[in-house]
Structure 1
């Protein structure tokens, strides 16, 4: 694990394996892999296993607004690590981290900020 991994781990906190995420979402692990490929979730290897941030899943579903936000970030050229860092870094003007705002149904402002970074 490199220094960047530990920085991201400190921001993200809890990770879920594909198997755990699949169980929580009531889908197969392969479907979770497809969600990652389609930018509905982000996945990174932790300890050799593909994992997703636990904060991306709430009440048995992907957090509302997350897929659109991740697509905007990917289209803006953000790497997976950069997108994770942006999603979990607190912003006093938001307030809170973008993932917290999405969880609180404040996705419009989060997507507006993500789109503004593209220009």
Structure 2
């Protein structure tokens, strides 16, 4: 098990996330391939999976897409971006990690910090 797999904790396979979002599997795979959705190979079979924290009420977190774009603009790989999103940060205004902030709808601070990664 790699550190990102442990850090994220709960994962959804491509079929599981497709079902959760009501999308065809090929659409989810295209989103991953196009860099619109972060994924990693996890588990004993190294299946491509997406963090379960990205989904709420049958939809992707509203601020996720723009945040991924900022992280990509900072030239982070998928693994680096996942590590950054899920690593606890004591300097945030709420207890948790950047993904916690996104789940609370507080994208401005997360994107500001993500854009600083490019410098």
TM-score normalised by structure 1 residue count: 0.90
- 5+ long unaligned stretches in structure 1: none
- Distance (whole Å) between structure 2 residues aligned to residue 37 and residue 66 of structure 1: 16
Output the aligned Cα RMSD. Answer: 1.2
- Distance (whole Å) between structure 2 residues aligned to residue 42 and residue 49 of structure 1: 13
Map residues 21-100 of structure 1 onto 2, 5 A cutoff: 21-46=17-42, 47-94=45-92, 95=94, 96-100=96-100
- 5+ long unaligned stretches in structure 2: none
Specify which structure has the higher proportion of helix: 1
1:89 CA displacement:
0.4
Q: Contact (CA 8 Å) 1:39, 1:67: kept in 2 or not?
A: no
- Distance (whole Å) between structure 2 residues aligned to residue 85 and residue 45 of structure 1: 14
Q: Which consecutive aligned stretches of 4+ in structure 1 deviate over 4 angstroms post-superposition?
A: none
Number of residues of Structure 1 aligned to a counterpart in Structure 2: 115
